[in-house]
């Protein structure tokens, strides 16, 4: 049997084209990433640790500002490639990528620094664990 006829018989033709790719509106009506329906499910915060409740302290990236520099620290172990922080990602107030720091779990601590000159309202940091997913924090400027 031809594939098209088989699909037609099942009533499936046209179904795939009618399934829209999920989109998240982040323009003017940008949702608050610290308190959205994705917080605690797709990524996690101190207030919304989701399925990783109890692991907040070791995963939320902590941000300290000194002038135009920030230092970001994740209080997480670096147990070789078994369990470690893969990277930090700096996003601007519109969640646009600005910079990232990759970590070598055999030699690095999960600490990164960034020059935030030109950023004037807020920034977001993501810390990515190889076992416990992505954790978000925000710094108002």
Residues near Fe ion (CB under 5 A) are 129, 131-132
Q: Cβ(96)–Cβ(117) under 8 Å?
A: no
> 22 is written with which tokens?
């999920």
Nearer to Fe ion, 89 or 116 (CB): 89
Q: Shortest Cβ distance from residue 40 to Fe ion (Å)?
A: 16
Nearer to Fe ion, 57 or 69 (CB): 57
Nearer to Fe ion, 88 or 132 (CB): 132
Q: Shortest Cβ distance from residue 4 to Fe ion (Å)?
A: 47
Nearer to Fe ion, 60 or 90 (CB): 60
Q: Shortest Cβ distance from residue 65 to Fe ion (Å)?
A: 25
Q: Shortest Cβ distance from residue 27 to Fe ion (Å)?
A: 33
């Amino acid at each position: 049997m031809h594939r098209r006829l088989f699909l037609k018989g099942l009533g499936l033709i046209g179904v795939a084209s009618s399934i829209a790719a999920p989109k998240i509106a982040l323009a003017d009506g940008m949702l608050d990433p610290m308190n959205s329906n994705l917080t605690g499910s797709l990524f996690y915060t101190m207030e919304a640790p989701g399925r990783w409740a109890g692991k907040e302290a070791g995963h939320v990236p902590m941000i300290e500002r000194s002038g135009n520099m920030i230092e970001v620290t994740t209080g997480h172990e670096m147990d070789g490639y078994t369990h470690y922080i893969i990277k930090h990602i700096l996003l601007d107030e519109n969640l646009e990528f600005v910079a990232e720091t990759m970590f070598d779990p055999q030699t690095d601590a999960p600490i990164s620094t960034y020059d935030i000159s030109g950023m004037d309202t807020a920034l977001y940091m993501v810390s990515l664990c190889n076992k416990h997913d992505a954790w978000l924090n925000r710094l108002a400027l």
